[in-house]
Amino acid sequence: MRVKLQPAFVLHSRPYRDSSQILDVLTAEYGRLALVAKGSRRSRRGGSAGAILQPFIPLLVSFSGRSEMKTLVASEMASNPLALGGDRLFSAMYLNELMVRLLHHHDPHPVLFVAYADTLRALNDEGCQLHAQLRRFEFTLLCELGFGFELAQEGGSGEAVTDDGWYGFDADYGLVHLGSPSNGQRAAFPGSDLKLMAAGEFGEPVKSTAKRLLRLALAQHLGDKPIKSRDLFRRT
Amino acid sequence: MNFSPAIEDLIQALRCLPGVGPKSAQRMTLHLLERDRAGADNLAAALLDAVNKVDHCQRCRNFTELDICEICIDPRRDTSIICVVETPADVLAVEMSGSFKGIYYVLMGHLSPIDGIGPEEIGLDRFHRRVVEEGVSEVILATNPTVEGEATAYYLIDLLQGDGVKVSRIAHGVPLGGELEYVDGSTLAHALTGRRQVE
């Protein structure tokens, strides 16, 4: 197999032998792949050969190979590098950790690739609403993995979500109507917020609902190991 | 053909070194046994000695045989300036430049959540306490210009903000003797945003 100029992002890399790296990349058409970048840690005229093989740089990669692990043949930058700093950088690292934990190798997710590229571009803007971007991406990720659920209707009965109703989340059914109104329950979500989210609003008005709901939905698939990137958001 | 168990063991043991595969390990083993028995004795003794004696400096976490390393106790060095680096090899690299007269703090890694390395694992809070307690005036962040190194730097900047400490990041840009044509775009972008007015 020989693939040329495939749009890709590096999700993670680790050193391999003396001067090489094993890259974990997300490609547009081939999904998540492991690539060996031979000699990429060796220095070259004007810097290291692998300087652009970093996360969050839009790349075009060419690779070949018959085995599970492909060999990187060439790489170039697809567009200008992003200038992520502070919480925006930590957020982008969080996206990568989520994908490394949840995506399987060789499972194409073209929609997710576009959503990821869009989210990074949005994070590049200093004034962006971080949490809205993250929640929207988390929801797209769940849908792409086949774990999506309806936000505007109940999972079991299919009845529409009502503004004054309270809903719980069940991994198998999705949203379930709760009989009594919430009495400080963490896992209860107001119907009005859910309807806003169904209409594509993940920002300030639904901040707390979206965060709790998506964290609950993701937790089902992440297992016991905590997401380490969350430690980076230091709140005093 | 198989070698005797002791020889096989040695070949296997040598393979723990970076860049040493089965063939090189076999060559090293046979060389030591055939031609350089004294060298082998020395190597064994030096290895044991180093593993038993070398530990982390209590102040900068660099490798040392003493409680506090030579750089940290050197009276000629300015203890109010701390340079934060990722590995002991980075300390050597900065020392070779001969242009830094402060002391170091070696993180022994960088923030890499995917590998399970968070702020606690590399002792960033401990470093913060030390900066506050010792009244350090400047912290120079010399972590690598990789995503993980940058994240480590940003985390420290956030941590040290409001402590009245001057925090600086080493400059990134075009290497000496390099040619602009061969410098990658992201490095050039850094070099341009971090440009300096000529006085």
Give A40 to chain B, closest Cα distance, Å.
Answer: 13
Interface test with B, best of A17, A124, A231 (most B CBs within 10 A): A231
Once rounded to an integer, what is the mean pLDDT over residues A174-201?
Answer: 80
Find out whether A47 and A35 touch, Cβ atoms under 8 Å. no
Direct distance between the N- and C-terminal alpha carbons of chain A, in angstroms, rounded to an integer: 51
> What does the alpha-carbon distance between residue A17 and residue A40 come to, in Å, rounded to a whole number?
11
CATH number for the region A86-232 comes to 1.20.1440.120
Find the CB nearest B116 among A86, A90, A228: A228
State residue A205's pLDDT score: 87
With CB atoms and an 8 Å threshold, state whether A46 touches B154.
Answer: no
Residue among B121, B147, B155, B159 with most chain A CBs within 10 A, to mutate? B147
pLDDT in tens, A75-125: 988 988 788 888 999 999 999 999 999 999 999 999 999 999 999 999 999
Residue of B nearest to A76 (CA): B184
pLDDT recorded at residue B167: 95
Q: Is B185 in Cβ contact with A81 (below 8 Å)?
A: yes
Q: Does A156 reach chain B within 8 Å, measured CB to CB?
A: no
Q: Residue ranges per domain, chain A?
A: 2-77, 86-232
Topology (CATH) of A2-77: OB fold (Dihydrolipoamide Acetyltransferase, E2P) (2.40.50)
pTM: 0.88
Average of per-residue pLDDT values in chain A: 88
Q: Are strands A70-77 and A59-64 parallel, antiparallel or unpaired?
A: antiparallel
Residues of A in contact with B178 (CB under 8 A): 45-47
- Equal CATH topology for A2-77 and A86-232: no
Q: Measure the CA–CA gap between B53 and B66, rounded to whole angstroms.
A: 8
* B12-30 pLDDT tens trace: 999 999 888 899 999 999 9
> Is the pLDDT confidence value at A145 over 70?
yes
pLDDT in tens, A28-71: 999 999 999 998 887 766 566 677 899 999 999 999 999 989 99
Is A93–B155 a contact, with Cβ atoms under 8 angstroms apart? no
Of the candidates A52, A93, A231, the beta carbon closest to that of B186 is on A52
Per-residue pLDDT tens digits for A103-112: 999 999 999 9
What is the distance between the alpha carbons of residues A200 and A160, in angstroms, rounded to a whole number?
17
Q: What is the pLDDT at residue A236?
A: 44
Q: With CA atoms as reference, report the closest residue to B77 among B54, B95, B55, B57.
A: B95
Interchain CB contact of A223 with B (< 8 Å): no
Cβ contacts (< 8 Å) between B123 and chain A: which residues? Answer: none
| CA dihedral (A224, A230, A231, A232) positive or negative | positive
Across the interface, of A46, A86, A234, the residue whose CB is closest to B179 is A46
- Cβ of A231 and B19 within 8 Å? no
- Identify the pLDDT of residue B177: 83
- The full set of domains in chain B, from first to last, is 5-53 (1.10.8.420), 75-193 (3.40.1360.10)
Is A166's pLDDT higher than 70? yes
Q: Where are the alpha helices (DSSP H) in chain A?
A: 86-102, 110-123, 130-144, 191-198, 207-222
Extract the residue ranges of chain B whose pLDDT is less than 70: 1
Pick A231's closest partner by Cβ from B118, B184, B185.
B118
Radius of gyration of chain A from Cα atoms? 20
Instruction: Spell out the alpha helix ranges (H) of chain B.
Output: 5-14, 22-34, 37-53, 70-73, 88-97, 124-134, 147-160, 185-193
* Percent of chain A surpassing pLDDT 70: 93
Is the CB of B186 less than 8 angstroms away from the CB of A97?
Answer: no
CA distance B67 to chain A (A): 31
Distance from the Cα of A45 to chain B's closest Cα (Å) equals 6
